[in-house]
């Protein structure tokens, strides 16, 4: 998973398409629990969305701006606009993360269809 290390990279990452940011930190035990399976999860969704990792401690201003205080947390964007979030301070399971990502894909597709219907 690529890492976002500055605000410019954040802005570029969320600009187009469907993007999910995963906020975590090296010291976070709940983040370490999901690390082993996240590459496979990312691979399973790579045709539908882009995923990036954000170190909450290195990007503290961004985390605060986005109200991310518990980690690991996920925020989904579509063409620069936030569409969903999975943000809390609880440990997350693979099933919960995959359910969130499936919902992100569904919401994004629904927004795409709605946008097309307005044209």
pLDDT tens track for 18-61: 999 999 999 999 999 999 999 999 999 999 999 999 999 999 99
pTM over 0.85: yes
- Domains of the chain, residue spans: 2-118
Judged against a pLDDT cut of 90, whether residue 74 lies above it is answered with yes
> What string of DSSP letters covers 48-104?
T-EEEEEETTTTHHHHHHTT--SSSEEEEEETTEEEEEE--SS---HHHHHHHHHHH
What number does CATH give the domain 2-118? Answer: 3.40.30.10
Active site residues: 28, 31
């Amino acid at each position: 998973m690529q890492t976002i290390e500055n605000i410019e990279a954040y802005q570029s990452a969320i600009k187009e398409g469907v993007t999910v940011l995963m906020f975590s930190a090296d010291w976070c035990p709940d983040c370490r629990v999901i690390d082993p399976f996240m590459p496979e999860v990312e691979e399973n969704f790579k045709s539908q969305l882009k995923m990036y990792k954000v170190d909450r401690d290195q990007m503290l201003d961004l985390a605060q701006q986005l109200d991310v205080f518990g980690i690991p947390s996920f925020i989904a964007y579509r063409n620069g606009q936030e569409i969903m979030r999975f943000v809390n301070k609880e440990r997350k399971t693979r099933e919960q993360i995959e359910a969130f990502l499936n919902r992100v894909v569904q919401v994004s597709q629904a927004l795409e269809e709605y946008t097309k219907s307005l044209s």
